[in-house]
Structure 1
Amino acid sequence: MKNYYEILNITKDATQEEIRSGYKKMLRKYPPEKEQERYKEIREAYDTLKDEKSRKNYDAYFHHEKDIKSLEDKYTEYMEAKNYNDAEKVLKKILIISPEIAHIKDKLGEVYLLKKEYDKSIKIYEKLIKEYPDNVDYLIKLGKNYSEKEENSKAIKYYIEAYNLDNSNLIAVNEIVYLFIDDKKINEAINFLNKDIEKDNKLDFEDFFALSKLLECYIIKNDMSNLKRTLEDIKKIAPEDEESKEFISWKLGKLAANLYDMQIYEHAKEILEICLKLTPNIEVVQELYRGANLFVEATKLIKDETIEYLAKFPVINYFFNKELKENIKEQAIQTLDEYIRHPKGREILKNEIDRIKMKYPLLYKETSIYNFYNEILKVINQASYTRTIYQETSGKGACYIATAVYGSYDSDEVLVLRRFRDEILKPTKVGRKMVAFYYKYSPYLSKKLKLNSIPSNIIKFILNRFIKFLNRYILK
């Protein structure tokens, strides 16, 4: 059997005040969020020794220590192997030797709980509570049984009884809150936590656990104003010692990581900012904050109606590539290509990219996004340069039909066709005859074509295929 005096680091003749003091010291050293099993031992030791009756029962156990020790060793062995049936048999043998040992009855109740024989476990704890009405641990285990049976109202009743006996019991606080949440009673959970925080009329480090639970409640409610207020309260109570700072940062970081995985980036960012102030040099927190911040900025950009949607595509592709359907990606690339082929489209894209660079620098500087925008700008600049050079050096002859179809003498499509005329057709005899034939009939035909009419669109479709062929294979 474990030595509860050693667990609390106190002597066997310790006073009740010394027992409480030892418990608080161990609790701070081994908080339940980090050392769950150790905390369970500490809590069990405290609940046993603070109650005079259970302490007397515990001390009496050592009179039978020789007879019981070998059986307890077997019990431990069976429990480690998760052999609950044999563990149950051993505990029953011990109770035959000494029927009144409360902690053995407690262990039997735990075994029944693990075996999901909840009614048997409930009977044991109901009897123990009658004998030890102030034992918080027994009340919590009774509440746990009802919780597992999904009888939440009964579970809450016993957890609240435990809390009223010892309002520092974090397990009771935790279970009450989660049962309220499970019953969709989020406001009751918030009210309970606020009362717990205000119970001693002061805000200090002892309130951190309740404050961290409040954060979870406000996240569920999507209540940003109260979330921020609670974060400010946490800032106020952060102790100066590094160990406490690291603990708070670890606890908040764990919550932020869960939010990040749930894609709740704005709340994650708010919480991680506190973590960075407490522990600025932890790389995993830095990386998590950077990622959350990028997602928050990306969401702002996507919702920004003042920026052309097409210019947002490199950002959308970077963050949501896996969610984007292939046809949407292809359509976006095709639209980008169409913009780049037209002077007005290039101008719009360039202006929008400049605006993103100024308004969302964090996103713009992200390597993959920056490279995407840089490639677009390179193509835009090259196309603009080629167009300028060609306009300065090409002949004045008009492409009548192409101009009528595309609506502009200077459109990129018309420039490609003019290049084909000047660089491919004119240097050859056959080509010159084709050009002469074209200029003989095209002025008349072009007058019959109206922009975006059915004939114009048919001709445009054919020319687009031809221009694509020229760009790919002829005019490289």
Structure 2
Amino acid sequence: MVKDTMSYYERLNLAPNASEAEIKQAYFTLIREYSNETHPKEFQLLTEAFKTLKDNNKRREYDEQGSNNSNDSKRLEDAWRSLKQGDFNKAISITNQILKESPGNREALQCKAYAFLHKGDGIEANIISEKLLRETPNNIDCLILGVDVKESIKEHKEAINLVRKLIELTGDIDWCLKESRLLNEIGRSEQALQSLRTNALRFESIEKAMMYKEILLLAFNLGDPEAKAEAVEKLKTVPEGSVERLQVAYWMIALYEENNLRKNHPLYINIYEIVSYLNQDQEQDIEKWLEENDVENNNYQKKSNSSHSNENKRAGATEEAFFIKKETVKMLLISFGIFILFSIFGLGWLGFIAGAVYFFVGNGKQVLKYAAIAAGVIIFFQWLMYFP
């Protein structure tokens, strides 16, 4: 009995790998039994199957898409559901049943590859993935599968090549970011930065800002001041409209928090500058963040200023100590001069007293200092009067 729910192979009682000669023989044998005159519906179903399977291109397309009957669709749904639930063996079993009937069913092959991949069998998943890529090299789903598989088995260079093809075919920003991250993982950080800067030219506004957020972080890690300065400027000017400016501002705050940056960190200073510039509408939460971080930044500055102040005080104290020593020597010499002056006139004892008063009492007290000098002068003139 021929039914419309059967696959083309089932209608002709053939295996999916049947040869062209076997297809013809099966068809002409069956239409004798189900002729157009006696069984028009069955004849139409057999002819439909034959016309598709005898043409290599149509057969390949049919095999890739799989049979369109509801039973296959249901089984594929069961396979994907089993995969999501973590029952990988069941997913593989279901897809094997489908592939037995339609060996080129692309969706079944993809599901089977993912089941092997999540099961930990990257080698088997890679065999299926490479088969799909050979047959449909520009199919997006097959390329995505290939990236996942290559990355899992640590074939990063091959994964990067597939990602670049996805960039060409889709222009999706996620693949541009994926390329730079893969390059970074294999130690090609400078190439990753160049890739980001080149791919950033593909985008406008918010997507361009996403690229420059990555450029800022990578440029800082690489110590590339030119790329970092460019990223800061672009992040301030690229977003269009208040919504996009706020979105980028929140990205910057998240970048600061994710990397747990200190307030005196150079990248923090760049982030604070960008957020402050973008918050033109003075959004409340961002204003609060700016205020809190500005206070902490000022505290850092105060500590820095305090440190400089302490250094200045120490330097001033050193200079003052030098000045005091200099003054002490000067006063000592003057005191000694007073003693010599009195000694010339035979009043050495009086000169010693006058010099001592000047040095010890007059130090820092100008009145006593000058009084001691005056006393010495008076005594000197008295001596001249009594001893002509």
TM-score normalized by structure 1?
0.46
CA contact (8 A) 1:95 1:104 kept: yes
Q: Taking structure 1 as reference, are residues 185 and 291 closer, same or farther at Cα in structure 2, changes over 3 Å only?
A: farther
Provide the C-alpha distance between the structure 2 equivalents of 1:57 and 1:249, rounded to a whole number of angstroms.
Answer: 51
The answer for the alignment partner of 2:283 in structure 1 is 281
The equivalences for 1:154-173 within 5 A come to 154-166=158-170, 168-173=171-176
Query: Aligned-pair distance for 1:123?
Result: 1.3
Aligned-residue sequence identity (percent) comes to 14
Contiguous gaps of at least 5 residues in structure 1: 1-52, 312-343, 345-476
CA contact (8 A) 1:58 1:103 kept: no
CA contact (8 A) 1:205 1:238 kept: yes
Query: Aligned-pair distance for 1:172?
Result: 2.3
The answer for the alignment partner of 1:270 in structure 2 is 270
CA contact (8 A) 1:259 1:267 kept: no
Are 1:68 and 2:90 an aligned pair?
no
Query: Aligned-pair distance for 1:298?
Result: 4.3
Provide the C-alpha distance between the structure 2 equivalents of 1:58 and 1:298, rounded to a whole number of angstroms.
Answer: 70
Query: Aligned-pair distance for 1:189?
Result: 1.0
Provide the C-alpha distance between the structure 2 equivalents of 1:90 and 1:282, rounded to a whole number of angstroms.
Answer: 55
Query: Aligned-pair distance for 1:188?
Result: 0.7
Q: Taking structure 1 as reference, are residues 136 and 59 closer, same or farther at Cα in structure 2, changes over 3 Å only?
A: closer
Query: Aligned-pair distance for 1:213?
Result: 1.7
CA contact (8 A) 2:65 2:104 kept: no
Provide the C-alpha distance between the structure 1 equivalents of 2:264 and 2:92, rounded to a whole number of angstroms.
Answer: 45
Contiguous gaps of at least 5 residues in structure 2: 1-57, 318-388
Structure with greater Cα Rg: 2
The equivalences for 1:7-406 within 5 A come to 63-64=68-69, 66-166=70-170, 168-198=171-201, 204-223=205-224, 226-240=227-241, 242=243, 244-260=244-260, 265-275=265-275, 277-278=278-279, 280-281=282-283, 283=285, 285-304=286-305, 305-308=307-310
CA contact (8 A) 1:260 1:292 kept: no
CA contact (8 A) 1:259 1:268 kept: no
**Which amino acid is the alignment partner of residue 185 of structure 1?**
R
**Which amino acid is the alignment partner of residue 222 of structure 2?**
K
The answer for the alignment partner of 1:380 in structure 2 is none
Q: Taking structure 1 as reference, are residues 110 and 253 closer, same or farther at Cα in structure 2, changes over 3 Å only?
A: farther
What SS does structure 2 have at the residue aligned with 1:133?
A: coil
**Which amino acid is the alignment partner of residue 233 of structure 1?**
K
TM-score normalized by structure 2?
0.55
Query: Aligned-pair distance for 1:190?
Result: 1.2
What SS does structure 1 have at the residue aligned with 2:309?
A: coil
Provide the C-alpha distance between the structure 1 equivalents of 2:192 and 2:219, rounded to a whole number of angstroms.
Answer: 10
- Residues matched between the structures, number: 252
Provide the C-alpha distance between the structure 1 equivalents of 2:86 and 2:250, rounded to a whole number of angstroms.
Answer: 31
Q: Deviations over 1:410-439 (max 9, x none)?
A: xxxxxxxxxxxxxxxxxxxxxxxxxxxxxx
**Which amino acid is the alignment partner of residue 183 of structure 1?**
I
Provide the C-alpha distance between the structure 1 equivalents of 2:269 and 2:63, rounded to a whole number of angstroms.
Answer: 49
Provide the C-alpha distance between the structure 1 equivalents of 2:197 and 2:139, rounded to a whole number of angstroms.
Answer: 25
CA contact (8 A) 2:92 2:112 kept: yes
The answer for the alignment partner of 1:348 in structure 2 is none
Provide the C-alpha distance between the structure 2 equivalents of 1:90 and 1:121, rounded to a whole number of angstroms.
Answer: 16
**Which amino acid is the alignment partner of residue 237 of structure 1?**
V
Provide the C-alpha distance between the structure 2 equivalents of 1:185 and 1:192, rounded to a whole number of angstroms.
Answer: 10
CA contact (8 A) 1:256 1:269 kept: no
Provide the C-alpha distance between the structure 2 equivalents of 1:94 and 1:217, rounded to a whole number of angstroms.
Answer: 47
What SS does structure 2 have at the residue aligned with 1:260?
A: coil
Q: Taking structure 1 as reference, are residues 179 and 97 closer, same or farther at Cα in structure 2, changes over 3 Å only?
A: same
Provide the C-alpha distance between the structure 2 equivalents of 1:293 and 1:236, rounded to a whole number of angstroms.
Answer: 22
Q: Deviations over 1:318-374 (max 9, x none)?
A: xxxxxxxxxxxxxxxxxxxxxxxxxx9xxxxxxxxxxxxxxxxxxxxxxxxxxxxxx
Q: Deviations over 1:146-190 (max 9, x none)?
A: 222233223223222333344x12332122211222223221111
Query: Aligned-pair distance for 1:240?
Result: 1.8
Query: Aligned-pair distance for 1:214?
Result: 0.8
Q: Taking structure 1 as reference, are residues 76 and 155 closer, same or farther at Cα in structure 2, changes over 3 Å only?
A: closer
Q: Deviations over 1:73-103 (max 9, x none)?
A: 4334423422222222222223234332212
Provide the C-alpha distance between the structure 2 equivalents of 1:239 and 1:216, rounded to a whole number of angstroms.
Answer: 22
Provide the C-alpha distance between the structure 1 equivalents of 2:62 and 2:268, rounded to a whole number of angstroms.
Answer: 49
CA contact (8 A) 2:261 2:268 kept: no
CA contact (8 A) 2:264 2:300 kept: no
Provide the C-alpha distance between the structure 1 equivalents of 2:262 and 2:101, rounded to a whole number of angstroms.
Answer: 54
Provide the C-alpha distance between the structure 2 equivalents of 1:247 and 1:162, rounded to a whole number of angstroms.
Answer: 27
**Which amino acid is the alignment partner of residue 260 of structure 2?**
Y
Q: Taking structure 1 as reference, are residues 250 and 306 closer, same or farther at Cα in structure 2, changes over 3 Å only?
A: closer
CA contact (8 A) 1:265 1:295 kept: no
CA contact (8 A) 2:173 2:207 kept: no
Provide the C-alpha distance between the structure 2 equivalents of 1:78 and 1:103, rounded to a whole number of angstroms.
Answer: 15
Query: Aligned-pair distance for 1:141?
Result: 2.9
What SS does structure 2 have at the residue aligned with 1:307?
A: helix
**Which amino acid is the alignment partner of residue 233 of structure 2?**
E
Q: Taking structure 1 as reference, are residues 131 and 232 closer, same or farther at Cα in structure 2, changes over 3 Å only?
A: same
Q: Deviations over 1:33-63 (max 9, x none)?
A: xxxxxxxxxxxxxxxxxxxx9xx76995582
